[in-house]
Structure 1
């Protein structure tokens, strides 16, 4: 029976479909290994396994009751134990650790937060020794901790000790990285900001809560500004943890010019990523624009010139009652521009509890009253130099020309004029530097008659008891001879009187640079007679170098002495 057309067409279509399926398989062919993997996967999904695959799975055990690990053993981690050091090898270990930390610190050009362990390098060697010593002590307490745990304990100890916090170090690193990218900060020694010698000394003052008097003889540098604003940012972060902060600026940075304001603003700008907002107020911008900017933002830092800030205060556009830090940068520029009265007005509008930092680059006697009005409490002196000018800043040198018979009476009158009318003077300490002659017994008797308590030589440690006469407190007076200058601490004496100028110029300089370290009210009185004419020339040089007034009689005595020689 002949096939019909439908059967022929059906058979032809079947052949075409078979050919197409064969072409598809040839185009999507895979290797035998991949095909076996695909097939095994399909069998697992369908629940069918080979016998050999069933043997690859272990039964649940007591250690793995749910068979989560499928019979695999736990990886054994090797615990690094701390080696207990004998006492005799501990010093060698500390020295080696210090050298290793110092080498790593010198190679680190752009340190990050990972270098926090190096922050214990305060003076680059002394603090390193203390940090490693504390690490060894912690390792004795728990010798089984791993390196990660020990590192975490070191960071926690750094937070609770007197070294800078991690947040402060982060602020310094943000500033340094930004300024290095801009080419603004180029340190010759290529050292990070957080190992600065000045910064370490400033941190001690910051931790003690004292006012600061910087007497290096120049305005603030980038390094000093970075430490100040980073410390202020650290204080803000601590206050935010305790509760909401005030709406007024936390830090007020007074500068004398728009150029200086721009410099300080460039150092503060990198802290914006950490939430610290800074505004710069100066005559270079319109007053209305600055008022609108202060209303729309609540800056933590404010950099301003005195005249523009007084305009804002007169318009009540800003409140300075909540300022915690005041920085007065460069007294020389304020003196040249006649800003001293304006600076005093700004200081009076701020709370007396505000901590103050003054960069004293003007060693003239006219600047001393301004510094005394700004720094009313105990101060901490900072200086990058050991010169007589920087160490004797804000100490008034008073040279009195007297006759030989009037020395003792004048020495008593000096004390009466200084403390006789004060209602309370128990915090003051007075020192008389006298000779070994018995004639000073009259001076002691005259002082006791006025109500002053006297201590001699080795009894200076008992100084502190002041007497009261007719309702007025009298300061305690100490007396030493010229041979005891090297053995007495002079830093707490605000007033030093030299009735007889028998000591050398070197001893005079030693007294001048070591007295009144914690105050800006130091006064050094000395009495000169015609017998001391040979010392007039060297004394005049010191007075002129320190910006002090020179009596005309002393100049005449010096010139006459030079002519006789």
Structure 2
């Protein structure tokens, strides 16, 4: 099955409950199975840990789950797994590591879930995923879920799924959740810091903000600069130690801090229920990632606000952003339309479909 639905709509529960029932209904007794029945692949450590937390909420018929991910203590993870687990939640790299080490036998898997499949492909996990899919028995049940469904994931589904049913909640077209107010500010890159600083200085005590940056160094620099201005922040990205990443999420969830600065490692699936604002300090490299970032607020029926800083170098995404804003009934600045028109005319002149960041980045 392929499940597509907007962020914050409960896709995790939709694939977990059938998985638990499937495992409980197996005719072979648990003690005679060679390994786990359920395998859940996730693109990031944080999402894997969150899914594991959801599984453990239900305690269904004594089914045990273990979370295996890079950055965690390998020996401890192996020790917990060997105690017995029907469900393994993991990131692709660490799973392949333990399969090759013959710690985990995935030939016993009968129910496979690929959560946020498009993000795993985008992160370069396709070779690992294809190897895992080849190692698992062909008569498995397979579920792929995401809030977006680009062509690359469709091709993977065609290769490794047998006549799948596609369930789409809402529109299959790329849309942002309608519970979020989307605002766009056009400015120079040098003005971003003072703009975000002025906004953060006026936060209410109940506000919580995630600020997305394009690069790890940019996130670190912004966190340091805001700290020097007296603001308490945390930072999460792929180069930070796993314990620091988990602490950052715990601090924003508990309210110990109001501002979390992140790269796209935090854009997918993470459910911090009371995020009131998302700020795109740097606009993402594709419009799918924009939709996922915006979905960190306005979850489970709540409302939220997304603010995106757009600079001259972002003109290649203007057309897609306008389409997302119009679909949600949101106003787009006139300058964004002009930016889009200029980019389209440039493409016509050049006769080439330039992609953002592809070497053409002069003033428009």
Do they superpose with TM above 0.5?
no
Structure showing the higher helix proportion among its residues: 1
Structure showing the higher strand proportion among its residues: 2
User: Radius of gyration: which is bigger?
Assistant: 1
Taking CA–CA contacts closer than 8 Å with sequence separation of 6 or more, which of the two structures ends up with the larger relative contact order? 2
TM-score, normalising length: structure 2: 0.45
